[in-house]
Amino acid sequence: MRSPREFENPLCAQVDGDAWFPEKGANIIGAQSICHKCPHRTECAEWGIKHEVHGIWGGLSANDRRLIRRKKNIILEVPSIEEWLGNAQPRKSLE
């Protein structure tokens, strides 16, 4: 699975980064509508489910991803700096 930094021309790159990490309770419909048009949506959502605690990933909120992980018994894999740089395997942790 590719990390989002490897995606070619993702639509989220054209928008302010704050849109993807909203304050708790903020409206996320705008960010989600951009995700729904992005060709990387599915891959990004899969990444978010497996690796991300915060933010909007593939149109899924942190709560959406947490519910999916619980339902499917998926353990969150927190990427290390080395993994982001392509030099190591992910560290595993429980939520």
DSSP string, 34-87: HHHH-TTHHHHHHHHHHH-SSS-BTTB-HHHHHHHHHHHTPPPEEPPHHHHTTS
Q: Quick one: which of 95, 65, 61 has its CA closest to 77?
A: 95
Task: Report pTM.
Answer: 0.79
pLDDT by residue (tens digit) across 47-56? 999 999 999 9
How does residue 77 score in pLDDT terms, banded at 50, 70 and 90? confident
Mean confidence (pLDDT) of the chain: 87
User: Residue 16: helix, strand or coil by DSSP?
Assistant: coil
